[in-house]
Structure 1
Amino acid sequence: MSHGVRKLISQFDDAMLQAAMTRFNMHGPCENQNGYENHVYRCLRLGEPVILRIGHTEHRTAGEVCAELAFLKHLHVEGCPVVRPLTSTTGQTIETLPIRDDDYFVVAAFTVAPGETLNLTTADKDIVKSLGETTARLHQSSRTFSPASSTCKRPTWDRETLNLLNRVTARKLLSEDDAVVLAHVHDVINIYQTKLKTARDYGLIHADIHDTNFTCKGTTLTLFDFDDALYGHYAYDLAVTLVETFSYERDDFTAVHTFLEHWLEGYTLVAPFPKQWLEELEFLMTARILSSFLFVKQNADGATSAWEEAHYQFCRTLAARRTWHAFDIRSFLQNRP
């Protein structure tokens, strides 16, 4: 696991939890939501359920969390269906719990997303369409968002991935067999940096939209967990959704193409989804897979799960081919009017 996550586990105790709850006027009972890179609890505040999130500064700095919450507030004001950040007893959206010197925890709180999570692979057309529409609304609102200051800003995808690569390399977590993947990661980062970064194509995105990061009530979806929000290409949000929803190992892409058709139907109710974005989709899906590969490597701590092993092997296969055409999006494009 990452050094920051190790610190999160080793330096956090019940006294820290109680201090965080007090800062946001919360009380028990608290239910551990089993967050991975953050401690996440469902507590009560004035009798209503709320979410308390506590992360180590090595995972996200106070400035990065500040930017995340400012973005959420902006989206909420713009009418996007997202959870809302809550203020502490001092009127702040974040609080810090010092450990020693520059070592501290960053605490934030949120409303609870209404409804239930679901399985996107079995979701009906209306839900998939609603997800596309919700993503488009987020992107439209993102275009009018400006960070409050240079110290209150989210990272870019390429910088985030490069930092992850450097951490994995520094800790010597890549074997000689991973050399081909390493080269492919560098290729993808270099190509990504040449992509257009116009206001139409590029902005602050969620970067982790999949079926455990939104709830559904009827056909109304509510997005949460903006912990991975970063500056990237808007089509990357769709790339993440596809990668996290469908297995890589398939011969029949009919389900993927049907999902994509319904998602685009919803998105284009709000904003256009240019053909150029669709042409970039396989590349962006590969970018997601390779960054996830580095994340898995960074957090590997002994035995790996079957999913992690499958993910690892797929990355190696993709890298060995020196390609990102593995999802048959090209045939989807050919069949579109």
Structure 2
Amino acid sequence: MIREIEEQFTEEILTEAIKRYDINKDTVRSLGGYESFVYEYQKNNAFFILKISHTIRRSRNNIRGEIEFINFLSNKGLAVSNAVPSTRGNMVEEIAAENGSFLAISYEMSLGKEVSDEDWNESLYEKWGEFLGKIHHATKGYEWRNPAFKRQAWDQEVQLKAEKYLRPDDVMISILKERLTKLTSLPKSKDTYGLIHSDFSQSNFYLHNGDIYLFDFDDCSYTYFVNDIGITLCYALFFPYKEFENKTEYYRLFFRHFIKGYLKENTIQEEEIEYLQESIKLRYVLQYIYFHQANDVSNLDEESMNRLKEIQQIAASDEPMLPIDFVHDFKSIYNSIH
């Protein structure tokens, strides 16, 4: 959580948000939250999510753009968590604070349950890839209704965060610029680049009768499809919900099933897959920035400092992130289905 946001949040802010959505406070339960305050509540025998963000992170129009994209995907038949209006009919409620405003949004609770170790198998990997492929295929036809609602480019947002939260002499700033230069050197077209989720991890979807229900589009932004794939692979490969004795074998198994599912719904070229290792590494640069955003790095305990150094070492390394050849495995799967 950004410290400036956490310091401003009060019980009065939560109470006002609850009032504007006509919520029974007794049904409200905190779910924590990494960059926003997130709550679950019950109304009319159904469950919903109340998220309270801040204008330090997102403008009202940013969130309107998120909601518009969610509605677009829902109309395309994808199982996503739709936003619901307040009692005033607003999709976003603004509550004045000492510095800026808090922004309250409510969403339908996704159907299903959290992913567990029992779900962590080849069937899930393939469905995960299919769902991401459906998003990328659908977004090729997406056009915002209001230019003010257009979401930011992913690389621009990351760069702005680095300049705000890192010291000017931090070596990670130049490393970030180098990695972003590689990313933005890829050809940009509707087949390679568009508005995407940007955080399709296992903690941002539920499973209902074996099907994926996706939520938390807070980070949706414009970037290359291969970067979105890399973001998902970073979470799925490094933080699986099941232990694997042979990690290299697991990496290959996951990727082969994931990309098989993806190719059922969307196309991607070998030249894009070549960038995957860099994309995963770029995710670690972002983790380094987030760490500075949420913590006073001049006052870390030994464990936190060691973690920060580990993230920096991984992000700065020129070695491949994973001991597998994504391009070789991609070509094998691609040729088997074409």
Which SS does the other structure have where 1:246 is aligned?
helix
* Match 1:57 to one of 55, 58, 61: 55
The separation in 1 between residues aligned to 2:326 and 2:291, in whole angstroms, is 31
Inter-CA distance 214–307: structure 2 relative to 1 (3 Å threshold): farther
Q: Tell me by how many angstroms 1:305 deviates.
A: 8.6
Q: Does 1:290 align with 2:285?
A: yes
Mapping of residues 84-103 of structure 1, within 5 Å? 84-99=82-97, 103=100
Matched, 1:199 2:197: no
Q: Distance in 1 between matches of 2:125 and 2:152?
A: 28
1:163 match: 160
1:36 to 34, 37, 56: 34
TM-superposed CA distance for 1:37, in Å, is 1.2
How far 1:203 sits from its partner (Å)? 0.4
Deviates more, 1:299-308 or 1:16-25: 299-308
Residue 139 of structure 1: how far off its partner (Å):
1.3
C-alpha distance in structure 1 between counterparts of 2:118 and 2:58, whole Å: 31
Root-mean-square deviation (CA, aligned residues, Å) is 2.5
Structure 1 consecutive aligned stretches of length 4 or more whose deviation exceeds 6 Å: none
Aligned in 2, Cα 1:213/1:202: closer, same or farther, shift over 3 Å? same
Does 58-67 or 238-247 show the bigger shift? 238-247
Q: Secondary structure at the match of 2:85?
A: coil
Q: Which has the higher helix share?
A: 2
Q: Which amino acid in 2 is paired with 1:62?
A: R
TM-score scaled by length of structure 1: 0.88
Distance 1:213 1:162 in 2: 24
Q: Residue 111 in 1 paired to residue 108 in 2?
A: yes
Residue number in structure 2 paired with 1:144:
141
Query: Cα gap change, 1:325/1:120 in structure 2, threshold over 3 Å: closer, same or farther?
Result: farther
* Percent identity of equivalent pairs: 21
1:306–1:205 distance in 2 versus 1, CA, 3 Å = farther
Structure 1 residue runs of 5 or longer lacking an equivalent are: none
Q: 1:143 to 1:247 in 2, by over 3 A?
A: same
Is residue 282–residue 329 contact of structure 1 (8 Å, CA) maintained in 2?
A: no
Q: 1:253 is paired with a residue of what secondary structure?
A: helix
Deviations 1:6-51 (A, max 9, x none): 3332322222212212222222320000012111110122232100
> How high is the TM-score relative to the length of structure 2?
0.87
Change (3 A) 1:238 1:49: same
Counterparts in 2 of 1:187 and 1:6: CA distance versus 1, 3 Å? same
| 1:231 aligned onto 2:222 | yes
Post-superposition shift, 1:317?
4.6
User: Is 2:248 the partner of 1:253?
Assistant: yes
Q: Cα deviation per residue 1:175-229 (whole Å; 9 max; x = unaligned)?
A: x7x52x3321121122222222200000011111111111112320111111111
In structure 1, the residue matched to 2:242 is none
- Separation (CA, whole Å) in 1 of partners of 2:278 and 2:118: 22
Contact 1:264 1:273 in 2 (8 A): no
1:62-81 mapped onto 2 (5 Å cutoff): 62-81=60-79
Correspondence for 2:202 = 211
Q: 1:276 aligns with which of 271, 278, 286?
A: 271
- When residues 74 and 10 of structure 1 are mapped into structure 2, their CA distance, relative to the original with a 3 A threshold, is same
How many residues are treated as equivalent by the alignment?
A: 324
Indicate whether 1:333 and 2:328 are aligned: yes
